[in-house]
Amino acid sequence: MTITNYSNFQDNLAGVVILAGGASRRMGTPKATLTLPTNEQLLDYHVRHSLNLNVPVMIADNERGFEVDSVLMDNESQPPIIHIADYEVVNNDKKSKTGGALVAIESALQTLITLNSSAALENKLLLQSSWLLVISCDSLIPATELWQNLQSLIDNARDKKVICLADENHLYPLLGIYRVSIEPDLKAYVDSGERRVMSFINPVVQTVQFLKQWQPLTNFNTPAEFVHACEALRNINTALSREI
Quickly list DSSP for 123-181.
HHHHHHTSEEEEEETTB---HHHHHHHHHTTGGG-TT-SEEEEE-SS-EEEEEEEEEGG
Structure confidence at residue 10 (pLDDT): 46
Please state, in angstroms and rounded to a whole number, the distance separating the CA atoms of residues 116 and 127: 8
Mean pLDDT of 184-190: 96
Please state, in angstroms and rounded to a whole number, the distance separating the CA atoms of residues 189 and 201: 11
Region of poorest pLDDT, from 67-71, 120-124, 137-141, 146-150: 120-124
A 10 A CB-CB count for 188 gives 10
Region of poorest pLDDT, from 47-61, 84-98, 103-117, 224-238: 84-98
Please state, in angstroms and rounded to a whole number, the distance separating the CA atoms of residues 197 and 166: 14
Mean pLDDT of 165-194: 95
Structure confidence at residue 126 (pLDDT): 73
Structure confidence at residue 123 (pLDDT): 67
